[in-house]
Amino acid sequence: MTDLTERLPVPEQRPRTPLTGPIAWARANLFSSVPNTIVTLVVVWLVASAVPPVIRWAVLDATWSAATGKDCRSDGACWAFIGEKLRFILFGRFPYDEHWRPLVVVMIFIAMILASCDRRLWSARRLGLMWLTGLAAVGVLMWGGVLGMSYVETDLWNGLPLTLILAVVGMVVAFPLAILLALGRRSRLPAVRALCVAYIEIIRGVPLITVLFMASVMLPLFLPTGVTIDKLLRAQVAFILFSAAYLAENVRGGLQAIPRGQYEAADTLGLSYWQRTRLIVLPQALALVIPPLVNTFIGAFKDTSLVLIIGLFDLLGTANAALTDANWRGFFVEDYLFTAAIYFTFCFFMSRYSQMLEREFNKGRRR
Amino acid sequence: MAIQSSPVSRPRGAFWNDAGVRGIVYQIVFVGIVVLVGWYLVSNTLANLHRQNIATGFGFLEREAAFAIGETPIAYSPADTYARAFLVGLINTLEVAALGIVLATILGTMIGVARLSGNWLIRKLTLAYVDTFRNIPLPLQLFFWWAMLRQAAPGPRQAWNLLPDIFVSNRGVVFPVPEYDPVQPWMALALAIGAVLTVLVRRWAKRRQALTGEQFPSGWVGLALILGLPLTVFVAAGMPFALDRPELKGFNFVGGHAISPEFTALLIGLVIYTGAFIAEIVRAGIQAVNWGQSEAAAALGLRQGHAMRLVILPQALRVIVPPVTSQYLNLTKNSSLGVFIGYPELVSIADTTMNQTGQAIEGITIIMAVYLTISLTISAGMNLYNRAVALPER
C-alpha cells in the first residue's frame, strides 16, 4: 500500500496574510469589511478633530494659578479655581482649621470600603465589628466635643463626608430592615405579606425626592409637640426608608433562588422558622445577592446628591455653592468636571468590583 | 377481613402549639402594632397642625394660585386655581417623560448594538459612554447641561446655527414647524386608515402562508399603504406646505417652535443617563440568546435578516423587556429632578404650592398618588407587551 501523502505532494505555502501581530489585529478589528473600514475612518476623523481642542483647553491654554478669576485666561480651563475651592468643595463650611477631621473621616470610609472588598475578610462578625468601630470613630471625629476637639454642628457637615455618611449609614441601617421586609413579603401570613408588599411597592413607585420631602416636612409633624429633629437625621431617615425597599427586593431575589429542598431539610431537622431562616436560608440567599447589593449601593451613593433639595450641602451642594463666589464667576465646567470625577471614581470602582464578583460567582455555573 | 377505618384525628396538643392559631395571633399582634404606631403619628400630626392653625383637606386646590409658570402647555395664568397649576405640572412631567422614553430607547438600542460591533473603535467608544454616564449622579449632569445652555450658550443675536433654521441660544432651542393647513387632519386620517389596512394585510398574509406556504410581501405593501395614502391626500390637495420659520426680531426669536433651556437640559440629561442603562440591557439581552440559535436558523436556510427578526429578536426581547420597563419607570420618576433646574414639572409646582399654603401633607399626597398611578400604568402596559413577546412554553 502506498502512502497517500507521497502521491499528493503538497507544495509548501506561507499564509498570505499574517495571523497574529498588530496588522492582523487591525485587519480583524478595524478593517474587516468595506463598511467597517468606512466606520473606522469616520470615527478616527471625529476623534482626531475633537481631541486637540480639548487638550488645548484643558492643558495647554489652562491657567494653573491665579489670584482671582479675572486673572484666568478666557480661552482655557481655569484650574486655579479648583485649587482655590478644593477644600470648600470637599468639606464645605466645616471649621477651616479642623479640616483634618473630615479628611480622616473620608480616609476611614475609603479604607473600610476597600477592606470590605477583600473576600478573605468576609465574615459577618469581623466586618460588622469593623463597620461599627469605624462609624463610631466617624461620629466622634465629626461631632467632636471630646479629646480636645471642638464641637461641630451637623449643619456644618458638608461635602464629601456628608455624601459618604448618608450613603453608608443609610445602607447599614436599611439592611436589617430590608431582610425583615423581604422575609415578610415571602411570609405565609397574609396580613404581614400585604403590609410588606404595600410598603415596598409604594416606596419603589415614587421618586426619592418625594420621600425626602416627606421626611423634611412631615417628620416634624409626626413627632409630639416640642420634639425637634435634626435636618441631617431627617434626610438620613428618608434614605433608610427608601433604600430598605430596594434592598428588600434584592434580598427577595436571593430568597427565591434557594431551592425548596433546603427549606424542607431544615424543617425535617426540626428547626424553628427563625433558626431555619438564620442558619440555612439567609446565609445562602445573601451570598447570592452580593453583586446586586453592590449595585444598589452605587445607586444610593449617586442618590445622595438629591439632599440638596432639602437644604443639605453634600458634595454636589458644595460644588454648586462654590460657583456663587463673586471673585470666581463662570467656572462651572471646571467645577462640575472635578466633582463628577470624584463621584465617578467611587462608582466606577464599585461597579467594576461588582462585575468581577458576578463573574467569580458564575464560574461554577458557566460551561 | 374488613378494614376498619377509624376517623383520623390529629393529636391535639395545647392550642398555642397549633401553627394556624399562632399565625393568626402573630398577624393580630403585627397589625395591632402598625395601627398603634400609625394612630400615634396621625394624632401627633393633627395636634401639631391644630397648633399651627393649618386646615387639612384639599379645599386649597380651589383657591387662586397667584404664581406664574414658565412653561404652560395649556392656558394658565396666575389668576387660575392651584388645581389648574397642578394640571400644568402634570402635563409638563408627562411631556418630558414621554419624549425621554422614546429618545432614550432609540439611543440605548443603538449604543447597545454598537457595544457588540465588530469594530474595535466603536466598541471602546460606546463602552466609554456607558461607563461615564452611568457613574455620575443625574442631578450633577442636569446642572451641567443647564449651565451649558444658560451660561455658555450665546444670546439670541449670536445664536449657534446648528442646521438651517435651527438656533441654540441661552433662551433655548428654536426650530421651524410646518404651518397649519386644513389638509393635515385628512392626512392624519389617511395615515390611520393605512395603519389599520396594514395590520389586516399582515394577518391575511400570515394565514395564507400558513395554509399554502406562499409568501406575500406584506412589509412593502404596508409601507406603501402607511406612507402612500397620506401622500396621495397631500398631492391631491395641491401640496399646500409652508414652514413657520424662527426669525431674529429685536432681542429674541419670533416664529417657529421654541423649547426652553430647562426642558432641553432635562431632556438631554434624562436621555443620556437612561440611554446608558438601556444600552447595557440591550447588549446583555442580545448576548443572552444562545449562539446555537443563529446557527440553527442558518441551517434552516433563513437569511440573516429573517434570522434576526424571527429567531434572535423574539428571544432577546423576552430578556430585555422587564428591565427596560423599570428603566422607563426610573426615567419618569427622575423627571422630578427638573425641580433642581427650574423646569415646572409636578414636583416643582407642588414645592411652590407647599411653600405658599403650608399644605405639605396634601401636596406630598398628590405627588405620590400621581407617580404611583403613572408607575402602575406603565408596568401594567409593559406586562401586557411582555406577555405578547414571551415565547409560548409547554
Tens of pLDDT, residues B366-376: 999 999 998 88
Coarse DSSP helix, strand, coil percentages of chain A, rounded to the nearest 5 percent = 75, 0, 25
* CA–CA dist B245, B95 (Å, integer): 23
Pick the CATH number of B82-179+242-389 from 2.60.120.430, 1.10.3720.10, 3.40.50.800, 3.40.50.10860: 1.10.3720.10
Tens of pLDDT, residues B113-152: 888 887 888 889 999 999 999 999 999 999 999 988 887 7
A310 touches chain B (CB under 8 A): no
Tens of pLDDT, residues B161-203: 777 777 888 777 888 777 777 788 888 888 899 899 999 988 8
Å between B261 CA and nearest CA of chain A: 16
Q: What is the pLDDT of residue A5?
A: 57
A305 touches chain B (CB under 8 A): yes
Q: What is the mean pLDDT of residues A203-231?
A: 83
Å between B370 CA and nearest CA of chain A: 9
CATH number of the domain enclosing A202: 1.10.3720.10
Q: How many domains does chain A have?
A: 1
Assess contact for A247 and A225: CB atoms under 8 A: no
DSSP helix/strand/coil, A148: coil
Domain limits at A148? Answer: 83-362
Tens of pLDDT, residues A108-123: 888 888 888 777 777 7
Assess contact for B102 and B269: CB atoms under 8 A: no
Question: In chain B, what are the domain boundaries?
Answer: 21-51, 82-179+242-389, 184-234
For residue B2, pLDDT over 70 is answered with no
Q: What is the pLDDT of residue B98?
A: 92
Tell me whether residue A193 is in a domain.
Answer: yes
Say if the Cβ atoms of A303 and B137 lie within 8 Å. Answer: yes
For residue B58, pLDDT over 70 is answered with yes
* CA–CA dist B93, B264 (Å, integer): 13
Longest dimension (CA), chain B: 112
How many other CB atoms sit within 10 Å of the CB of residue A170?
Answer: 26
Residue of A nearest to B123 (CA): A29
Burial of A268 by CB count in 10 Å (0-12 exposed, 13-18 middle, 19+ buried)? exposed
Reported pTM: 0.84
* CA–CA dist A346, A170 (Å, integer): 17
For cell 443609610, name the residue.
A170
3-state SS, one letter per residue, for B116-183: CCCCHHHHHHHHHHHHHHHCCCHHHHHHHHHHHHHHHCCCHHHCEEEECCEEEECCEEEECEECCCCH
Strand partners, B247: B254
Assess contact for A102 and A154: CB atoms under 8 A: no
Lowest mean pLDDT among A89-98, B204-213, B251-260, B263-272: B251-260
Residue of B nearest to A341 (CA): B136
Å between B375 CA and nearest CA of chain A: 6
For residue A334, pLDDT over 50 is answered with yes
Residues of A within 8 A of B49 (CB-CB) are: 221
Say if the Cβ atoms of B152 and A333 lie within 8 Å. Answer: yes
For residue B10, pLDDT over 70 is answered with no
For residue A71, pLDDT over 80 is answered with no
Which of residues B64 and B99 earns the better pLDDT score?
B99
Residues of A within 8 A of B31 (CB-CB) are: 191, 195
> How many alpha carbons lie under 13 Å from residue B266 in its C-beta half-sphere?
30
Assess contact for A351 and B135: CB atoms under 8 A: yes
Residue of B nearest to A348 (CA): B135
Long-range pairs, B78-84, Cβ under 8 A, ≥24:
B82/B353, B82/B357
Chain A, 312-331: which have a CB under 8 Å from a chain B CB? 316, 319-320, 330
From A217, A223, A305, residue closest to B140, measured CB to CB: A305
Which of residues A36 and A312 earns the better pLDDT score?
A312
Tell me whether residue A34 is in a domain.
Answer: no
Cα-based distances in Å from B350 to A96, A210, A214, B331, B347: 38, 10, 12, 19, 5
Q: Which helix (H) or strand (E) holds B243?
A: strand B243-244
The residue length of chain A stands at 367
For residue A1, pLDDT over 70 is answered with no
For cell 401636596, name the residue.
B363
Strand order in the sheet with B166-169: B160-163, B166-169, B172-175, B257-259
Residues of B within 8 A of A210 (CB-CB) are: 336, 347, 364, 367-368, 371
Chain B, 51-110: which have a CB under 8 Å from a chain A CB? 51
Averaged pLDDT of chain A:
83
A224 touches chain B (CB under 8 A): yes
Predicted confidence band at B54 (pLDDT cuts at 50, 70, 90)? confident
Q: What is the pLDDT of residue B276?
A: 93
Q: What is the ipTM of this complex?
A: 0.85
Angle between helices B82-114 and B313-334 (to 10 degrees): 140
Residues of B within 8 A of A202 (CB-CB) are: 368, 372
Tell me whether residue A330 is in a domain.
Answer: yes
Say if the Cβ atoms of B132 and A344 lie within 8 Å. Answer: yes
